[in-house]
Amino acid sequence: MLGMSVVGALILSTLVAPVDATADSAPSEKITLDIKTINGSGCPAGTATASADVASDNTSFTVRYTNFTAKAGGGVSALEGRKNCQINVLVHVPQGFTYAIAEVEYRGFAHIESGASALEQANYYFTGTSPTARVRHTFPGPFHGVWRATDTTDVAELVFAPCGESRNLNINAELRADAGSSAGGSYIEMDSEHASVDTIYHFAWKTC
């Protein structure tokens, strides 16, 4: 009986105390980012830009877009109704740490006529891994102002970059506008010319 109890305790310990536990705090060494490529219908070369900055406490980084807008109605082409922008970024991580994206705060500006609608969705993946699931955030009209949406990942579902490897992070964001039954023009955008419009990616850290 004692032997069985010891084995049972070891199995339980394995289940509740995984080796890959998240770190209690972010690394103290400064994190830096290098944007490698930017492409997509919402940020074609030469017409749009994006930038990324790391928070001073290494808990998150912010992405700001320029001219990333989806439009519908008012005589605009149907091609304007769906736009995407993919950013490929290398996060320089201190030795002994790796990271996952635990939460993302999306913000933008929109004008949506009555009868029209818009949506934002995004996912990310490390080079060589499968993309995360996309979560749709839909905004019905009438609406005019700053929109906000948040995606949160459960601890058990966090996807960490492989320890000791330089894997680029791919961020793929999409905006859509649908005129629906409206007569006027509508749009949804993530454009840094509006105050408080940016996307914040929150890190989860793990020791390797």
Lowest mean pLDDT among 24-33, 82-91, 94-103: 24-33
Residue with tokens 């990271």: 99
**What kind and span of H or E run contains 61?**
strand 60-65
Contact 118, 110 (CB under 8 A): yes
Average pLDDT score over residue span 14-28? 55
Average pLDDT score over residue span 112-124? 96
pLDDT at 11: 27
CA 82 centroid distance within chain:
18
State the pLDDT confidence band at 67, using cuts at 50, 70 and 90: confident
Percent helix, strand and coil across the chain, each rounded to 5?
10, 50, 40
Average pLDDT score over residue span 39-68? 82
Model confidence, pTM: 0.82
Contact 80, 72 (CB under 8 A): yes
For the cut 70, the answer to whether the pLDDT of residue 189 exceeds it is yes
Average pLDDT score over residue span 188-197? 73
State the pLDDT confidence band at 145, using cuts at 50, 70 and 90: very high
Starting at the earlier edge strand, list the strands of the sheet with 137-140: 32-39, 82-92, 169-178, 117-126, 137-140
Residue with tokens 């934002």: 120
Average pLDDT score over residue span 195-205? 82
Average pLDDT score over residue span 61-74? 90
For the cut 60, the answer to whether the pLDDT of residue 15 exceeds it is no
Q: What are phi and psi of 20, to 5 degrees?
A: -85, 65
Looking at the DSSP assignment, which residues form a beta bridge with residue 54? 61
Under DSSP, is residue 112 helix (H, G, I), strand (E, B) or coil?
Answer: strand
Which has the higher per-residue pLDDT, 180 or 153? 180
Contact 208, 97 (CB under 8 A): yes
Which has the closest alpha carbon to 132: 146, 121, 143, 116?
Answer: 121
Looking at the DSSP assignment, which residues form a beta bridge with residue 121? 174
Across the chain, how many H-helices and E-strands are there? 1, 12
Which has the higher per-residue pLDDT, 15 or 108? 108
* % the chain with pLDDT above 70: 83
For the cut 60, the answer to whether the pLDDT of residue 59 exceeds it is yes
Which residues have CB under 8 Å from 52's CB, separation 6+?
33, 35, 61, 62, 63, 64, 87, 89
